[in-house]
A and B are shown apart, each in its own frame.
Chain A
Amino acid sequence: MTTISPTIESECIPLSQLGEREKAVVHVTELEDDERDSLAAMGLHEDASFELCQQGQPCIIQVEATRLGLSREITSRIMVRRCGVCN
């Protein structure tokens, strides 16, 4: 597995505002500790890159080989930065 350095935008937006098929990197989360730890264990930790597959309530994201369904209650508290080339 190789990692290509992504081109990351400086502006942070909530994950819930990301458009479909957009790729982004997790910048910081305002989640409760247990929620943050659960997501990290599922692969969505800070600095993890992912793709938004389906926007909505709930939405679907793809983190490497993991596909996650997340409710807006969660995605509105995850700040992300859009990126162009991240895997």
Chain B
Amino acid sequence: MSSPDSQPSAASSILLLGNPNVGKTTLFNRLCGLRSATANFPGSTVEARKGSCSSGDIKRTFTDLPGIYSLDAKDELSNVCRRALDGIDCEKPDAVVVVADATNLRRNLTIVNEVLHHGVPCIVALSMVDIAQKSGLTIDADKFGKKLGCKVVPVHPRTGQGTPELHKSLDKPVSSSVSLPPIEDHKAVNVWANEIIASSVGGELAIGTFTDRVDKAFTHPILGLFVFAAVMTGLFWTIFTLAAFPMDIVETIFEHVGTVVGGLLPDGDLHDMVVDGVIGGVAGTVVFLPQICILFFLISLLEDTGYLARAAFVMDRLLRKFGLPGQSFVPFLSAHACAIPAIMAARIVPDRRDRIATILVAPFFSCAARLPVYVLLVGLLFADSPFLAGLAFFGCYILGALAALFTALIVRKTVVPGKSRPMMLELPTYKLPSIRTAFLTTVDRAWIFLKNAGTVILAIVIILWWLSAYPKMDASESVIALREQASIVTQTEQSERLLNEANSLEYVQQLSGSFAGKIGKFVQPVFAPLGYDWKLTVGVMTSFAAREVFVSTLAVLTAGDGDTENEGVLEKIEKAKRDDGSPVFTLPTAASLLVFFVLAMQCLPTIAVTKRETGSWNWALLQLSYMTVLAWVASFVTFLIVSAVV
């Protein structure tokens, strides 16, 4: 810290502060690049990126604070920034760099005034000077700095122009000693800002007509919706198209890792836990990494262009009716790929209460992992009518979306009461996006996702594996007989088939006798009103780790049920029998199960991510309980109705 009376020392701990959309994060990325990491502020879910860089012999740490318009506001973001300035729960900064938009000085001077009042040494980094000059403004940075009592440095965050001068200023940062207007007196602040601008800024700012013209289409009540639909269709087409190949690679890598590690370990519990539990379980989550990377890369590009704010503007009309802000559309769209990135994308929603409401309802939207279950059950329901099957498939998506929107209404009347924050949204000027910023954002988000997969999700899959692997059951007589048969048969194909059948049967018997199986049988009476036997109950329970597991669990559980040897997996599932010999899948049961999978949470990793993003297990458990109860009730009603009709 320095004071006007003492020789200032070089700043090593620096905060970056400023309004949204002024190029603050681009400047941070330019200064620190990949030498940065995201961390939550103590006692808050607000994140800031921390990075380091060197200037000569001095190592500097920069903290990129969230973009705010005022330190004086009562929201969580401003509170976090105030605490960071005061050094509460973190290191007290040696200096603050306020990034100010040169094309919008009057507004940016509000936050500069607030920082100067704090007494912490301050440097103003003027961004967008090139745009200001093109628009007809000339800014005398020295005069500007004298009026403020601190150093003013023009910078170009994308090219790095001006960053050496910024470092030089940070070698001797000073606190302002000029007379400042009171923060709460907006009129006095305005007069002060006008005086500074009049003395150091020349020319007249020409307001761009390009943004105005584009906005006529992009924010139009009807045309804007078409543009929105086109952009979002393109976004998701790109995600699904581009992600398919790297997802295959991730799966192949995990398969190879499983084979190699499995080969190194002796047969037994450790082998099964590492291969089936750890590698298999983590693979089930990490396989979505390519989708997540592409999603965040594209969202970052869209945000940088200025379109994302327009999309929020257009969607605000619809979502506000359900107590949600326009920004919620980004997580909702992401949820169609996977609920995990959707919940992570909810950070785009500025108000905490709006954000929690968004997170609570996002998993209702049908994700990619539900598709195999929909395909199986819709196929069972409407095997002879592709048209009705298609209609039912579409109906699943509609049911999920309606459940989300109406749940949002309930949430805003109960646990997160009140209307969503009225829209007060800045629509930044359109500009070319920064690939570098998008890349660094993607790396950051991917790392957070992988850390989650390597900690919470890893712990969950190990527990689930243990529950289904213990206690160990001895191979039954039929399994031993099948294996003996396989060893006698000369044809390799037939021998392999018999061995697979023996393994499947052994797995079913193991699962049936395991803790998971016992829990399934114990819990089965709860699902009996929905028409589920113990096998379906175990399927529902094991799919709690990941929905897509349901189909493979059923395939395994019904492996011994087929009447003929040549039946496919789906046929075997369709013809599966209950213990009393009646079919597992009747029309009411299949319909009820379909509704259950549309509405139920059935995804442990999502619960872990909800806890992480809301900062509390309470929200995660509320989400799980509500979705499970709703799914049960809706499935029960479906079962009764379909039973009455057929």
Are A and B part of the same complex? Answer: yes
Interface residue? A8 (CB, 8 A): no
Q: Which of chain B's residues have a CB closer than 8 A to the CB of A60?
A: 215, 219, 313, 427
B73 touches which one: A37, A54, A58, A68 (CB < 8 A)? A37
Q: How many residues of B contact A (CB 8 A)?
A: 45
User: Which residues 53-81 of A have a CB within 8 angstroms of B?
Assistant: 53-54, 56-58, 60, 62-71, 73-74
Q: Write the nearest CB–CB distance from B408 to chain A, whole angstroms.
A: 17
A71 touches which one: B73, B106, B201, B423 (CB < 8 A)? B423
Q: Which of chain A's residues have a CB closer than 8 A to the CB of B215?
A: 53-54, 60, 67
> Per-position contact with A for B24-48: 1 when CB-CB < 8 Å, else 0?
0000000000000000000000000
Interface residue? B586 (CB, 8 A): no
> Per-position contact with A for B203-227: 1 when CB-CB < 8 Å, else 0?
1110100011001100101000000
User: Which residues 11-43 of A have a CB within 8 angstroms of B?
Assistant: 34-35, 37-43
Using known A-B contacts A38-B69, A57-B317, determine if residue A1 contacts B424 with beta carbons closer than 8 Å. no
Q: Write the nearest CB–CB distance from B88 to chain A, whole angstroms.
A: 21
Interface residue? B107 (CB, 8 A): yes
- Please tell me if the beta carbons of A71 and B205 are within 8 angstroms of each other in the complex: no
Interface residue? B431 (CB, 8 A): no
Q: Which residue on chain B has the smallest CB distance to residue A74?
A: B422
Cα(A2)–Cα(B428), bound, Å: 23
Cα(A70)–Cα(B448), bound, Å: 34
Q: Which residue on chain B has the smallest CB distance to residue A36?
A: B186
- Please tell me if the beta carbons of A3 and B194 are within 8 angstroms of each other in the complex: yes
- Please tell me if the beta carbons of A37 and B107 are within 8 angstroms of each other in the complex: no
B320 touches which one: A47, A53, A69, A71 (CB < 8 A)? A71
Cα(A58)–Cα(B424), bound, Å: 9
- Please tell me if the beta carbons of A66 and B107 are within 8 angstroms of each other in the complex: yes
Interface residue? B72 (CB, 8 A): yes
- Please tell me if the beta carbons of A43 and B106 are within 8 angstroms of each other in the complex: yes
- Please tell me if the beta carbons of A42 and B426 are within 8 angstroms of each other in the complex: yes
Q: Which of chain A's residues have a CB closer than 8 A to the CB of B207?
A: 62, 64-65
- Please tell me if the beta carbons of B423 and A43 are within 8 angstroms of each other in the complex: no
User: Which residues 422-442 of B have a CB within 8 angstroms of A?
Assistant: 422-429
- Please tell me if the beta carbons of A41 and B69 are within 8 angstroms of each other in the complex: yes
A69 touches which one: B104, B204, B425 (CB < 8 A)? B425
Q: Which of chain B's residues have a CB closer than 8 A to the CB of A40?
A: 70, 110, 186
- Please tell me if the beta carbons of A1 and B197 are within 8 angstroms of each other in the complex: yes
Q: Write the nearest CB–CB distance from B320 to chain A, whole angstroms.
A: 7
Q: Write the nearest CB–CB distance from B428 to chain A, whole angstroms.
A: 8
Q: Which B residues fall within an 8 A CB radius of A?
A: 69-70, 72-75, 101, 103-104, 106-107, 110-111, 137, 186-187, 190, 194, 197-198, 201, 203-205, 207, 211-212, 215-216, 219, 221, 309, 313, 316-317, 320, 419, 422-429
Q: Which A residues fall within an 8 A CB radius of B?
A: 1-3, 34-35, 37-43, 45-48, 53-54, 56-58, 60, 62-71, 73-74
Across the A-B interface, the 5 shortest Cβ-Cβ residue pairs? A41-B69, A41-B70, A71-B423, A73-B422, A43-B107
Can you report 12 residue pairs joining A to B where beta carbons are below 8 Å apart?
Answer: A41-B73, A42-B69, A45-B190, A46-B186, A64-B207, A65-B103, A65-B107, A66-B107, A66-B426, A68-B427, A69-B423, A71-B320
